Amino acid sequence: MKLGLKHKAYIVLALMMLAAVASSMALGQSYFGAERSRVFDARRRGVDDTATSVEQLLTRGLDRLQTVAALPALAYGLQLQEQAREERQIPAWTTLHYLFFESDVFTGGVVLVNRTGQIIWSEPSDISRLDTPYTAWPRVQTALARQPDDDHAFVVERAQGAAEVLVAVALFDQQQERVGVLIGAIPVSSATVAQSLARGLLSVGGAAHLVDARGEVVASTRPRALGQRLAYWQPSDETGAGRVVTRQLPDDELLTATASVPVAGWHVVTEERAAAALADVRELYVALWVTRIVFTGIMVGVLLFVVVSFTGPVEQLTVAAERIRAGDLESEFRLDRTDELGVLAEALNGMTSSLRDQAAELERTGVLAEAASRAKTEFLAKVSHEIRTPMNGVLGMTELLLGTSLSSTQRQFATTIQRSANSLLSLINDILDFSKIEAGKVELERVVFTFKEAVHDVLAPLQEGAESKGLLLTSELPTDERRAVWGDVVRVRQVLTNIVANAIKFTAQGHVTVRVLIVEKSDAHGRVRFEVQDTGIGIAAANRDRVFEPFVQTEGSTTRLYGGTGLGLAIVRELTEQMQGTCGVESEPGKGSTFWVELPFDWATAEEAIVPDAAAPAAPARQAEGLGLRILLVEDNPVNTMLAKAMLRNLGCKVQNATNGLLALEVLNGESFDLVLMDLQMPVMGGEDASREIRRREAGRARVPVIALTASALPGDLENCLQAGMDDLLTKPYTQAQLRTVIEQWAPAHST
């Protein structure tokens, strides 16, 4: 369904509103995250500060006890006490009274017990406690036993809702045997540590706890939690500095902060409902979100008014533009507005008027261009046919003449005629090729071939011309010269032939060398560089960029000395570009030139690469001489008829002639032949129509090969002939060797 401009505008507005809502939510989320982080940081600092205070309190008490326990007199006093228990006034005890009198740390008192747990000394002094068992001795002894590598331990004692921390430090004699334990008591209650922690940090309903190494609450702002274990907390998971997390419980979400007290292995823990802790943040978030939505609604309302005011005229302009695009240049668009849209409507009308004029001119120019192109194509086709037809007679008769006994002067004249005719034929071919390239009628083929095959096919026909000038014509191939590739071998040969022929023409002495180099190689693809190096006249630097242009040679004197149209290298460039390649030249006047072409290829697989060796000519399927082949020649031109008959008789064939397709059908109706040579353009009935009728009549009978003879050289000739029922095509002018090859290929086996 096609949407109008108004509907699109509404969709855009809806998307804008959604975007505004999304951005509002994103902004709120960002603000909420920042405020949440601020709350978390406050909780983290609180538990860190409290854990530090507890750590300092316990560390002060431990340091005081360890300092006293290290006094040698204390251990010595214990030994004396054991030796003479009735002696109470040992000097060391006086020292202890002095050290711990009104201690600001051990407000719960200090006792000294021997190795069996009997109280030897206490501060404050209490004679009734002496020689009595210390009530917490079993827990102290167990705590010290759990830490054999330490000389101290912390034990929590609880009584009637209160708790105190017992800091125990062992005393050792000179043999490092424990002779007693010095124990100091630090009261810890909800009114001290935990309440100071909670002050100003927690929301309503929150609680703060001091948890010992066993996970039990030592002190808390919530009295019922004393001595209990926190269900959600695992001591092994809470270590290090302050840490704040949210915990999902079955019926609530808690915000907890934890910090450790390393000296005792304890932890400071706060807990509060996450909703209560973040209540202020959520209220600000909602207010911000509502404000943004209100602002977005106002903005969308303004934009909606603007859209409604302009979409109508714009839709009218769109309809007018669609009519113009559809080719309706006659109607005009009227919009009664004086603003920019009115100016746009007038501009649209002016553009329509201009387009009408341009369309009329283009139509006239297009008709002329099409007629000119059609006339050019028809002219080239007629020129090709009309020139090649007599050229067939000239070259063929010259070939036959050279096969007879001639004097040296006569042979020289005949050879000159043959070379001149070949030069004229080459010129015609170049013009036709360039015309086909310009018209875009060149279609690339994709066949399997080898570099060795392609280079051999190029050099073989040019070898005689090079040798006649005393030039050495050689090739240098890569090590895997027989590696097969996919490409258009006909166009590759044409490119190389033009370059090599050009090098031979402009080289008076020395050599012409063709090189094949693989410059890029992968598993499936490759890029190959063909180089043609000569020792000819060379090209000046100023002229190198022009040699590939059509109808251009480097200097006017070059044309006078060497001849040519300047199309050969232009065809090279055009064909190279069509094959996705590049070409260029490196040259120095007087030292020769190196023309190069780089082309991409796909490597053929081992199964695809079954290509015959071009250097070794294939053995003919059979020899035509003396076999008595009966051939029907269908040709209306007297000269070409005479030539074909002479060549066929030289090949040992019996020939019968018909001057048009209708006569050929009458002859075939009463006689049988081994092969038919059929001209295409004849009066009464042409070759293609005659071939179709031949195939229709021989249904169910033996098929006679039909070979087309044509002076045309346009694309599609072979395809048209095959569709008409012909088997092959031989282009005029042809040589006796070419005629022999096609007969040997298609004539059926026959013996006299």
Q: Which of 76-80, 154-158, 644-648 has the highest mean pLDDT?
A: 644-648
Q: Residues near 552 by Cβ (< 8 Å), separated by ≥ 6?
A: 546, 566, 570
Tell me the C-alpha distance between 324 and 352, whole Å.
7
> Residue range 449-472: average pLDDT?
88
Three-class HEC string of 262-330:
CCCCEEEEEEEEHHHHCHHHHHHHHHHHHHHHHHHHHHHHHHHHHHHHHHHHHHHHHHHHHHHHCCCCC
Contact 548, 572 (CB under 8 A): yes
DSSP per-residue letters across 17-60: HHHHHHHHHHHHHHHHHHHHHHHHHHHHHHHHHHHHHHHHHHHH
Confidence bin at 399 (pLDDT 50/70/90)? confident
Confidence bin at 334 (pLDDT 50/70/90)? low
pTM value is 0.44
What's the start-to-end Cα distance of the chain, in Å?
79
Dump pLDDT digits (tens) for 352-378. 777 777 777 777 787 776 666 666 666
Confidence bin at 382 (pLDDT 50/70/90)? low
Would you say residue 381 has pLDDT above 70? Answer: no
- pLDDT at position 446 is 86
- pLDDT at position 618 is 39
Q: Residues near 235 by Cβ (< 8 Å), separated by ≥ 6?
A: 211, 213, 214, 215, 265, 267
> Residue range 690-716: average pLDDT?
84
> Residue range 448-462: average pLDDT?
88
Sheet containing strand 706-710, edge to edge, reads: 654-658, 630-634, 675-679, 706-710, 728-731
> Residue range 626-655: average pLDDT?
87
Q: What percent of the chain has a predicted confidence (pLDDT) above 70?
A: 71
Would you say residue 153 has pLDDT above 80? Answer: yes
- pLDDT at position 619 is 38
Residue the block writes with tokens 């948890």: 211
DSSP state of 618: P
- pLDDT at position 632 is 94
Of the two residues 732 and 713, the one the predictor is more confident about is 732
Dump pLDDT digits (tens) for 63-80. 888 887 777 766 666 666
Would you say residue 675 has pLDDT above 90? Answer: yes
Q: Which of 55-59, 279-283, 670-674 has the highest mean pLDDT?
A: 670-674
285: tokens are 């978030």
> Residue range 419-426: average pLDDT?
71
Per-residue b/e over 397-427, b at no fewer than 16 CB within 10 Å?
Answer: bbbbbeeeeeeeeeeeebeebbeebbeebbe
Of the two residues 573 and 318, the one the predictor is more confident about is 573
Dump pLDDT digits (tens) for 601-630. 998 887 776 644 444 333 334 444 455 789
Q: Residue 711, CB half-sphere, CA atoms under 13 Å: how many?
A: 23
Dump pLDDT digits (tens) for 97-113. 656 655 677 777 888 88
Would you say residue 351 has pLDDT above 90? Answer: no
Dump pLDDT digits (tens) for 525-566. 889 999 999 999 888 887 887 888 876 655 544 444 555 566
Of the two residues 217 and 251, the one the predictor is more confident about is 217
Q: Residue 230, CB half-sphere, CA atoms under 13 Å: how many?
A: 28
Of the two residues 679 and 291, the one the predictor is more confident about is 679
- pLDDT at position 164 is 78
SS3 content of the chain, % helix, strand, coil (to 5): 50, 20, 30
Secondary structure of residue 640 in the 3-state scheme = helix
- pLDDT at position 522 is 84
Would you say residue 254 has pLDDT above 70? Answer: yes
17: tokens are 């509103």
Confidence bin at 751 (pLDDT 50/70/90)? very low
Q: Give the Cβ contact number of residue 164 at 10 Å.
A: 21
Of the two residues 411 and 455, the one the predictor is more confident about is 455
Number of H helices and number of E strands within the chain?
18, 22
> Residue range 209-236: average pLDDT?
75
DSSP state of 371: H
- pLDDT at position 335 is 65
Would you say residue 656 has pLDDT above 60? Answer: yes
The type of residue at 227 is G
Q: Which of 99-108, 159-168, 293-302, 532-541 has the highest mean pLDDT?
A: 532-541
DSSP state of 191: I
Please give the mean pLDDT across all residues of the chain: 77
> Residue range 431-440: average pLDDT?
67
- pLDDT at position 86 is 47
- pLDDT at position 581 is 92
253: tokens are 């979400």
Q: Residues near 218 by Cβ (< 8 Å), separated by ≥ 6?
A: 156, 163, 165, 188, 209, 210, 211, 212, 226, 266
Of the two residues 109 and 304, the one the predictor is more confident about is 109
